């Protein structure tokens, strides 16, 4: 005879209690740090366990970009904030237009600044968010929901599917059967119960950040927005980034800083073009032609980058 579970037990993995931290409230400060750190140490392995699913998501994103579609993250609470964060970091890191990767969070801009957690229950807002973003069949909508059940995200994905967009779900719990059957990509890093029960800004949030970093970075690399492991498509919007751009040209082309700076200026601020101009000793128009012939890949245009010096 099967004994029913107590009514208070939540079947969602992210909502279950962690037996390893059940006395965290009486632990000393250093013990609290050690308990949380021990839980965090398990996250990377949980993400590695879904590496093939992440790779499938990257390939889906690359295909989306090649047909001029967008990657659209949609989430609520911590999940939504992490999606918006990843989207906002793509333009300065990879020189992408802001509309190429979009982050949508339940509750809108205000939800980034303060908790509007009730917004996650609004299914009408989830559907409306897809219409407001003008989602099309060319886009890939990736829902982010630690528990896998967030109504705002589920409604957004359903609306995106109706429109004809490709969809995916990133969750740290097993999602409802309907999402399993209808999403094109599922990424489910099972990080287990949190150190503080249900606080998915912890392990689930860390896993989400790792996955999103990998998806956006992997897709940009596949599109030629890196040379070796150098960010050659970065946008020099700060002194730090201008310095980084100059150093990249210096290292790749064996020139001093003043020459690197002049090359970047002549290239209209493009580090990628500057490398081709200096390496091939050509002007901007010819460098643009060479880079276009190479599909945007610097390595194909000028050869291998210099090896990393120990």
* Winning range, highest mean pLDDT, from 10-14, 90-94, 210-214: 210-214
Instruction: Please state which of the ranges 81-85, 104-108, 113-117, 298-302 shows the lowest mean pLDDT.
Output: 113-117
- Element of type H or E holding 104: strand 101-105
Contacting residues for 267 by C-beta, under 8 A, at least 6 apart: 273, 274, 277, 284, 287
pLDDT in tens, 186-233: 999 999 999 999 889 999 999 999 999 999 999 999 999 999 999 999
CATH number of 239-302: 1.10.8.1080
Domain ranges of the chain: 44-222, 239-302
Above 70 in pLDDT, residue 10?
no
Instruction: Assign a CATH topology to domain 44-222.
Output: Rossmann fold (3.40.50)
Question: In this predicted model, which residue has the larger pLDDT, 11 or 216?
Answer: 216
pLDDT score of 229: 96
Catalytic residue from among 39, 120, 194, 246? 120
Above 80 in pLDDT, residue 9?
no
pLDDT score of 234: 82
pLDDT score of 121: 84
pLDDT score of 99: 97
**Catalytic residue list contains 293:** no
CA distance 254 to 249: 8
DSSP 269: T
pLDDT score of 8: 63
Distance of CA 107 to the CA centre of its chain: 20
Which of 151, 172, 159, 188 minimizes the C-alpha distance to 72? 159
Above 60 in pLDDT, residue 2?
no
| Number of CB atoms found within 10 A of residue 232's CB | 26
Q: What percent of the chain has pLDDT over 90?
A: 83
pLDDT score of 303: 96
pLDDT score of 4: 54
**Catalytic residue list contains 89:** yes
Catalytic residue from among 15, 89, 251, 288? 89
pLDDT in tens, 20-62: 999 999 999 999 999 999 999 999 999 999 999 999 999 999 9
pLDDT in tens, 269-299: 999 999 999 999 999 999 999 999 999 999 9
Contacting residues for 35 by C-beta, under 8 A, at least 6 apart: 20, 21, 24, 27, 195
- Element of type H or E holding 123: helix 123-132
Report CA-CA distances (Å) from 79 to 54, 103, 105, 167, 249: 17, 10, 8, 16, 37
């Amino acid at each position: 005879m099967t004994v029913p579970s107590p009514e208070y037990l939540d079947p969602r993995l992210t909502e279950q209690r962690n037996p390893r931290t059940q006395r965290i409230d009486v632990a000393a400060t250093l013990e609290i740090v050690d308990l949380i750190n021990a839980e965090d140490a398990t996250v990377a392995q949980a993400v590695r366990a879904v590496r093939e699913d992440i790779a499938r998501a990257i390939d889906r994103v690359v295909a989306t970009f090649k047909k001029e579609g967008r990657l659209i993250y949609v989430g609520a609470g911590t999940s939504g904030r992490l999606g918006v964060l990843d989207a906002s970091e793509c333009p300065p890191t990879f020189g992408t237009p802001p509309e190429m990767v979009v982050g949508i969070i339940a509750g809108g801009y205000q939800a980034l600044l303060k908790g509007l957690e009730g917004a996650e229950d609004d299914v009408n807002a989830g559907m409306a968010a897809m219409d407001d973003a003008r989602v099309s069949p060319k886009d890939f909508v990736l829902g982010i929901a630690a528990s896998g059940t967030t109504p705002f995200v589920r409604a957004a994905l359903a609306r995106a599917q109706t429109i004809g967009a490709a969809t995916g779900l990133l969750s740290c719990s097993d999602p409802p059967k309907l999402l399993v059957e209808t999403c094109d990509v599922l990424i489910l890093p099972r990080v287990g119960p949190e150190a503080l029960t249900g606080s998915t800004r912890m392990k689930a949030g860390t896993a989400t950040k790792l996955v999103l970093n990998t998806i956006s970075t992997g897709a940009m690399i596949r599109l030629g927005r890196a040379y070796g492991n150098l960010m050659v498509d970065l946008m020099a919007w700060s002194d730090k980034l201008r310095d980084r751009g100059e150093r990249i040209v210096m290292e790749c082309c064996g020139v001093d800083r003043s020459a690197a700076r002049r090359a970047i200026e002549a290239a209209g601020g493009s580090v990628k073009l500057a490398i081709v101009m200096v390496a091939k000793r050509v002007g901007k128009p010819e460098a643009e032609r060479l880079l276009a012939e190479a599909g945007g890949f610097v390595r194909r245009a000028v050869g291998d980058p210099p090896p990393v010096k120990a």
